[in-house]
Amino acid sequence: MTDLHCHILPNIDDGAKNLDVAVEMLNMQKEQGVRQVMFTPHFKIDEMTYDTFVQKREKSQQLLSSHEAYRNSGITFKTGCEVYFSLKLLELEDLQSLCFEGTDYILIEFSTKMKPYGIREALMKLIGLGYTPILAHVERYGYFAENPVLLYDLVMDGCLAHINAETLLKNSVRRKTAMKYLKWDLVHFLCSDSHSNEHRTPNIKEGYEVIRKEFGEEYVQWLISNSEKVFDGRDIDLSVVKKPKKFLNFWI
C-alpha cells in the first residue's frame, strides 16, 4: 500500500517531534503493510519562505535517511509537502518543489474555520499551469459538508481529493460526511495524515477495512491503485462522479 500524506519527517512541523518518533512511525507504516510513503510536511507560505522550507525539509530528510531503520525499511520514500492554501502561492515562479517528488501532483489543505476566498479560481489556475491539486482531508471542512456541491465542482474542474483513515475510525460526524463523499465518488485516495506514534498514528490498513465493509473489495483496490499511480506520477482512472442532491434538509 501507499500513503500519500503523513508527517513522519522529524523536527519540521507538528508531526514527528524527533528522530526516534519518526523511526517508530516508519515501523508502524511497515506493520500496516505500507511500502511507499510520501513525506508531506506542512508548508505555509504566510509563515515561511519557500527557500527556507525546502532547506528545512532537506535537512530533516537527511537526518531520517541517516538512520538504518530508513535504509532497511523496505519502503520506498518520496518527498512532497502539504501546502496550506494561499493566493500568494500563485506568485511563486515554480511550484515544482512543492509537488510530490517527480510528479505534478500538489497536496493542498484549506482553513477548517472559514472557506478561503478565491479557491476555485486559484485551483483552476494551478490546473491550467499543468498541476493536479489533491485536496487534503476533504471531510474536515464544514463548508464542504454544508454544501458538497462546492467539492463536486472542484472535482469536476480536475482536482482530486483524499480522506483520512482516522476519520473512518474515530469521528462519527465526519465519518458520515466521508462516507457520503465516497458514495458520490468524490474521493480518490485514503491517507493516514499520521502525526506521531501515539496519537494520529499510521492507520491506513484499518481505514481500508471500514471502506471494504461498506463499499467492497473493488472500491478498496481502486483507491489503493490510485495512490500507487500518483506516487509514480501516473494518471489515475477516474470514476463517474455523482452530483450531491438536496432532499428536504439532507444531502443524498
In this complex, which beta carbon is closest to Fe ion, that of residue 24 or of residue 82?
82
Compute how many residues bind Fe ion; rule: CB under 5 A. 2
Q: Which three cell numbers stand for residue 133?
A: 491539486
Q: How far apart are CB 243 and Fe ion at their closest, in Å?
A: 28
Question: With CB under 5 A as the contact rule, which of the stretches 119-127, 138-146, 164-172, 189-197 interacts with Fe ion?
Answer: 189-197
> Cβ atoms within 10 A of the Cβ of 242, count?
12
Residues of span 12-41 touching Fe ion by CB under 5 A: none
108 pairs with which residues across the strands? Answer: 83, 135
- Interface with Fe ion, residue 193, by CB under 5 A: yes
Report the C-alpha gap between 139 and 145 in whole angstroms.
7
Closest to Fe ion by CB, 16 vs 184, is 16
- 34 or 244: whose CB is closer to Fe ion? 34
Integer CA distances (angstroms), 124 to 42, 118, 130, in order: 22, 10, 10
Find all residues with CB under 8 Å of 175, minimum gap 6, and list them: 139, 167, 168
Between 77 and 219, whose beta carbon lies closer to Fe ion? 77
Distance CA 209, CA 194 (A): 17
Of 24-32, 190-198, 211-219, 227-235, which segment contacts Fe ion by CB under 5 A?
A: 190-198
* Cell of residue 65, nine digits: 535517511
In angstroms, what is the minimal distance from the CB of 82 to Fe ion? Answer: 5
Which residues inside 47-86 make contact with Fe ion, applying CB under 5 A?
82
Kindly tell me which of 139 and 193 has the beta carbon lying closer to Fe ion: 193
E strands, the chain, where? 2-6, 36-39, 42-43, 76-79, 82-84, 105-109, 132-135, 160-164, 189-191, 246-247, 250-251
| Cβ atoms within 10 Å, residue 46 | 7
Shortest Å, Cβ 14 to Fe ion: 9
Measured from the CB atom, the residue of 9 and 184 that comes closer to Fe ion is 9
Which range of residues in 58-66, 187-195, 197-205, 243-251 is near Fe ion by CB under 5 A? 187-195
Binding site for Fe ion (CB under 5 A): 82, 193
